[in-house]
Each structure stands twice: as C-alpha cells, then as structure tokens.
Amino acid sequence: MARFVITGTGTDIGKTVFAAGLTGLLNASYWKPVQTGVADPGPRRDGPWPGSDAAFVHAMTGAPILPEAIILPEPLSPHRAAELAGVTIPDLTPPAADPLVIEGAGGVLVPITREMLSADLFARWGIPVVLVATTGLGTISHTLTALESLRARSCRVHGVAFVGDDNPDNIATIAALGRVRALGRLPRLDPLTPATLSAAMRTHFDPQDFA
C-alpha cells in the first residue's frame, strides 16, 4: 500500500507544496483531516473549500480530494481552534483510499486535542511518516528533534523530504545523524504551477522510494 502521512519540522516550510507534489507523483488521493484558518462557508459542496490546503492540492494536481473531518475558522493549532469554535475534534480514522497522501496540521508535536499530539495520532494510525524539512540554517537541529519525537512515540518514519536551496552538507548530516533516508529535495519554484511542480517532483524524487 502506498499511504503516507506528511508532517513538517514547523509551519510555512513548504509541507503543503510537497504534499501536493507527492499526491501528483503517486496519482494518489489527498486527505487533510483537520483544516484550520478557513471560514466555513456553509453546507459542504462538491470539491474543496476555497482557501483550504485541499483546494491548493486540487488546483496543482487535479487529484481526488477526500473531505476533511473538520474545518475550523481560526488559524491556530487544532486543539485551540476547536475550543474557540465550541466543537470537539471528531474521530480521525484515515479513509481506505490507496494510494493516499495525508497531510497533518503544522509540525510533529502540534496538539490535536488537549490529550493528543499529532505524533500520537500518526503512531495510532501506523502509516509511514514523511517528514518535510527545510535545507537552510537551523534545519539540522529542528529535523533531528522532530525525528526523535516521532520515534519516541513509535511512529513509522519513512524518510525526510527537503524543500529549499541545495545544501548537500545539511542533508547528508541529517541523514547520517538521524539514521534516516533523504528522499530528495524540492527546490523553491518560481513560478509555482502544476507543470513546474510536476516536473520538479519527477526530477528530484523517485516514485519507487514511495512504492
């Protein structure tokens, strides 16, 4: 089965762009269980909500989008966004789709509820985790810390996907010290279009690494 959870070393590092790229590379379905920071416009329509990560992924790939379990208006971690909305995070059992790319909210230790972190959820699912990291200054410590956190919770770490400028020493250092596979590096794309993203993924990542 080609089913992967995509998480990151932090926010705004290119996780959603990579998730879109991997969705296209694998001809997969995409699922974001909890979407924050998007106002609910009313009853669910066909297709993803405007402004959501799912809408971006669909625009980049045309891939099948599986409905979020919950959408919350405040741009905060899921636990706090749910509290402010006066709702409870529902059951987050992954759909049966295969291949499937699941994008987590923010980083490895983002709280889903007051009792459960993202990494706890990933461990419960037992689905291989791809950690997205930057290539620049600070990434060694951030990435090794995230790997330690995932492993401490018995998550299945599949590898690290890097986003950013070429920095072979940082990538090699993380692979060696983190005892982890470097899956590839997605360069910053300008312009970022479906064509440039697809071409970059085919150039810098091997689909067999996700088979």
Average pLDDT value for residue range 96-114: 97
Q: What is the pLDDT of residues 16-29, one digit of tens each?
A: 999 999 999 999 99
Report the largest interatomic distance among the alpha carbons of the chain, rounded to a whole angstrom.
49
pLDDT at 177: 99
Domain housing 164: 3-34+50-210
> How many C-beta neighbours within 10 Å does residue 50 have?
10
Q: Give a yes or no: residue 98 inside a domain.
A: yes
Least confident of 20-34, 41-55, 137-151: 41-55
d(CA 197, CA 25): 10
pLDDT at 209: 98
Entry pTM: 0.96
C-beta of residue 69 within 8 angstroms of C-beta of residue 34: yes
Q: Give a yes or no: residue 84 inside a domain.
A: yes
Q: Is 63 annotated as a binding residue?
A: no
pLDDT at 44: 61
Average pLDDT value for residue range 33-47: 78
Q: Is 104 annotated as a binding residue?
A: yes
Residue among 2, 30, 17, 12 nearest 161 (CA): 17
C-beta of residue 6 within 8 angstroms of C-beta of residue 22: yes
Q: What is the pLDDT of residues 50-100, one digit of tens each?
A: 899 999 999 999 999 999 999 999 999 999 999 999 999 999 999 999 999
Q: Give a yes or no: residue 17 inside a domain.
A: yes
C-beta of residue 12 within 8 angstroms of C-beta of residue 163: no
| Average of per-residue pLDDT values in the chain | 96
Q: Give a yes or no: residue 42 inside a domain.
A: no
Structural domains counted in the chain: 1
Q: Give a yes or no: residue 181 inside a domain.
A: yes
Residue among 112, 113, 155, 159 nearest 133 (CA): 159
Instruction: Look at residue 162 and tell me whether its pLDDT is greater than 90.
Output: yes
The residues, ordered by sequence, that sit 6+ positions from 137 with a Cβ below 8 Å of its Cβ are: none
C-beta of residue 23 within 8 angstroms of C-beta of residue 98: no
Q: Give a yes or no: residue 45 inside a domain.
A: no
State the burial class of residue 179 (Cβ atoms within 10 Å of its Cβ: 0-12, 13-18, 19+).
Answer: exposed
Q: What is the pLDDT of residues 174-201, one digit of tens each?
A: 999 999 999 999 999 999 999 999 999 9
Q: Is 40 annotated as a binding residue?
A: no
pLDDT-above-90 percentage for the chain: 92
pLDDT at 187: 98
pLDDT at 43: 62
Q: Is 46 annotated as a binding residue?
A: no
Q: Is 189 annotated as a binding residue?
A: yes
Q: Give a yes or no: residue 43 inside a domain.
A: no
pLDDT at 42: 62
pLDDT at 47: 77
Catalytic residue among 18, 28, 32, 161: 32
pLDDT-above-70 percentage for the chain: 97
Whether 32 is catalytic is yes
Q: Which CATH number characterizes residue 67's domain?
A: 3.40.50.300
> How many C-beta neighbours within 10 Å does residue 172 have?
11
Q: Give a yes or no: residue 40 inside a domain.
A: no
